[in-house]
């Protein structure tokens, strides 16, 4: 297996396919790099080098007690980028991974970054507050933590319904997709399953978004039941300079799977166009 060891001893597993301009994927909670395989295979088949890691505590990476916070996630990503010596990389982040990408640029700059794509991403901040009235009440995240503690296996099964919009009338449910979600969730360690909830819901990435100074594409479904669009993409698109926002009508949180052909086409078009503009 391809693994790097971070400064604090965590072992981070990653996939590295194809050749060409690097496209780096940061996955959502509680999943792993497997969640991006549709996009990775597609872009690798179109002449790009695709890299995706399992965030610490998730998938095949080690499961430390410490470091389940956005700063450490971003620093782990920076170590991966540096150890692979990636230049002019496109960073694609889904959900929590979008927060990881924003915080990575906030902490480490964009000197190695060519473009950014945020998909169903958590920034700027999910939790409701006086300054974020459209956010989700803290009680909802407390309920998630309680469900993880009570029976996380059943919770992952239940969560998959809303994640992919399978709880909507007329939805075509894939039990295979649900089982894959459950498997990836069960591969996440208990510390990451629990502590990452605070990381993705309470970390304010407003200032990180303002530091993004490369072409940015923001994709979000307007029926996202996990990261509602009003407090996420609609706000992020105002904070990132010259960001391009594309709203997918009726799409759920897990649209990289349910709308994979459309996501793949939008990714390829954006990366190819940005590469041409950069070369010019």
> What's the rounded Cα separation, in Å, for the pair 259 and 266?
11
Is 33 known to be catalytic? no
> Could you identify the residue written with the tokens 């605070």?
198
Active site residue 95: yes
Say whether 224 is catalytic. Answer: yes
**3-state secondary structure (DSSP) of residue 221:** strand
Among candidate residues 91, 208, 253, 266, the one labeled active-site is 253
Give the number of other Cβ atoms within 10 Å of residue 162's Cβ: 16
d(Cα 162, Cα 221) in Å, to the nearest integer? Answer: 13
Here the tokens at position 151 are 């029976």
CB neighbourhood size of 249 (10 A): 7
Catalytic residue among 33, 95, 201, 237: 95
Give CA–CA dist 280/261, Å, rounded. 29
Q: Which two tokens stand for residue 270?
A: 């954006």
Beta bridge partners of 90: 23, 115
Pairing of strands 3-5, 11-17: antiparallel
Cα 157–chain centre separation: 20
Helix (H, G, I), strand (E, B) or coil at 145: helix
173 three-class SS: coil
Catalytic residue among 224, 236, 237, 266: 224
With contact defined as beta carbons under 8 Å apart, do 54 and 32 qualify? yes
Catalytic sites, residue numbers: 95, 224, 253
């Amino acid at each position: 297996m391809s693994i790097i060891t971070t400064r604090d001893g965590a072992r981070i597993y990653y996939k590295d396919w194809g050749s060409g301009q690097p496209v780096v994927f940061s996955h959502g909670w509680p999943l792993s790099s497997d969640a991006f395989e549709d996009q990775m295979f597609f872009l690798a088949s179109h002449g790009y080098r695709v890299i995706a890691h399992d965030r610490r505590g998730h998938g095949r990476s080690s499961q430390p007690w410490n470091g389940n916070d956005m700063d450490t996630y971003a620093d782990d990503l920076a170590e991966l980028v540096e150890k692979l010596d990636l230049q002019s990389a496109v960073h694609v982040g889904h959900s929590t991974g979008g927060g990881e990408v924003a915080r990575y640029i906030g902490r480490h700059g964009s000197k190695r970054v060519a473009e950014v794509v945020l998909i169903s991403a958590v920034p700027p901040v999910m939790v409701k507050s006086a300054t974020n009235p459209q956010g989700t009440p803290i009680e909802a995240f407390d309920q998630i933590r309680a469900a993880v503690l009570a029976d996380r296996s059943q919770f992952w099964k239940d969560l998959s319904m809303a994640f992919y919009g399978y709880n909507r009338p007329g939805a075509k449910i894939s039990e295979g997709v649900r089982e894959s979600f459950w498997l990836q969730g069960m591969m996440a360690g208990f510390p990451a399953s629990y502590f990452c909830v605070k990381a993705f819901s309470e970390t304010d990435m407003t200032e990180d978004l303002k530091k993004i100074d490369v072409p940015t594409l923001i994709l979000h479904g307007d029926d996202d039941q996990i990261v509602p669009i009003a407090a996420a993409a609609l706000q992020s698109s105002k904070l990132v300079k010259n960001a391009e926002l594309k709203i997918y009508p009726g799409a759920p949180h897990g649209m990289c799977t349910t709308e994979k052909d459309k996501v793949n086409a939008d990714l390829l078009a954006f990366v190819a166009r940005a590469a041409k503009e950069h070369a010019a």
